[in-house]
Amino acid sequence: MQKKLIALAVAGLASTGAFAQANVTVYGVADASFDVVKIAGDANNELGNTTRVSTNSSLIGFKGAESLGNGLTAVFQFESAVGFDNGGALGTSRDSFVGLSGGFGTVVLGNLTGPTRALGAALDVNSGATGIGANTALLGKLGNNLIGTTDANGNYGGGSTCGRSTVCASIFDTRWKNAIAYVSPTFAGLNATFAYVANENKALNGLTPANTTGFDTGLKYANGPIMAAVTYNAVYTNNAADLKISDFRVGGSYNFGAASVRALFDLARADNFGGNKVTQAVWGLGATYNVTPASKLVGQVYVARDLKVNGSSADDSGAKLFTFGVEHSLSKRTMLKATYSMVNNDKLASYDYGINAAGVNAGALPVGASTLGATVQGVSLGLRHTF
């Protein structure tokens, strides 16, 4: 239910015959886990561990559609994150939009998951693509420098720190504010998505330059056991430094029935980043195996290669993610899960979990301890219920 292509989210609404009149469906996910997380330094000295309760991308949503006649349907969705481990207000921080769907495809406007983020999530082995084992720990971060998303004013200047128990994903793996997207009809399993991010932050004449805009496009093939997709996402800040960032992804999966395999390649790039051109490649492999009809093993390995600055390798700037877990279904909607995950940083890297960060770069370490080269590992035991 989470992190799907806009095409899937909207198609599910538009294709349901029950929506002859305007109806509203309430849906959601309640996902909580007890985590034990440890941070160790580059000399293998233990710097500390912590226990916590995490609500892994839990959500509540409202969606609906209305048939307008002549093959045209109005669709809408309001979706809010729910952090019930510590309380918090509801909002529309997740995929929330209104749009029209018909034979021409679908057009939606709002806060949207683009095809780049959707591809990364689709190839993650964890249910809901969430928790300490999620592949967002490494994807698109460009040496841990492209974290977070645009602010309330639409500005983005890059980010490299994450607080404890926060989302620590790259800008390419967050939702786009102020966005409009077109999703084509599906032909023989193939469809395309194009999203544009409006430049609402454009500065008036005489003010500090600001004019952030971007686009996110993808082509996906899904037919039977095969899924494959390619995406490209670009963001232009047009600020004083004229920072330009982009991300290219290609990946796919094959479902054997009792097992599945998946692979992903990611290439992030920044121009005018401290006066340099910086790139980084990340690749990942994952698999699932149904031990019994109710129990499934999941595992994945992701490797962030060293940064390349103006074409030259920056040694020891990469990292590795190792994830292994067990998911046991108590029913179609309720699941027990156990996950072990480790982010192993090179000597000059400081990556953190993408979901529920340990806080490597935000005061979690003792005074004087280096965040570079730290290893973050944890065990998570949880319960996931969908409705």
Residue 46's pLDDT is: 62
Question: pLDDT tens digits for 344-369?
Answer: 999 999 999 999 998 886 654 454 45
pTM above 0.85?
yes
Burial status of residue 86 (CB atoms within 10 A of its CB: 0-12, 13-18, 19 or more): exposed
Residue 329's pLDDT is: 98
Mark 270-291 as b/e (b = at least 16 C-beta within 10 Å): bbebeeeebbbbbbbebbbeee
> What residues does each domain of the chain span?
6-386
Q: Are 314 and 307 in contact (CB under 8 A)?
A: yes
Task: Provide CB contacts within 8 A for 133, sequence distance 6+.
Answer: 125, 126, 298, 300, 321, 323, 324, 325, 339, 340, 341, 380
Amino acid at 111: N
Return the DSSP state at 330: S
Cα distance from N-terminal residue to C-terminal residue, the chain? 10
DSSP per-residue string spanning 199-253: -TTPPPTTSPP---EEEEEEEEEEETTEEEEEEEEEEE--STT--EEEEEEEEEE
Query: For the chain, which residues score pLDDT lower than 50?
Result: 1-3, 5, 7-20, 364-365, 367-368
CA 20 vs CA 13, 26, 78, 103, 351: distances in Å: 11, 17, 20, 17, 49
Residue 86's pLDDT is: 74
Residue 22's pLDDT is: 59
Q: How many CA atoms, within 13 angstroms, populate the side-chain half-sphere of residue 189? A: 9
- The CATH code of the domain at 6-386 is 2.40.160.10
Residue 7's pLDDT is: 40
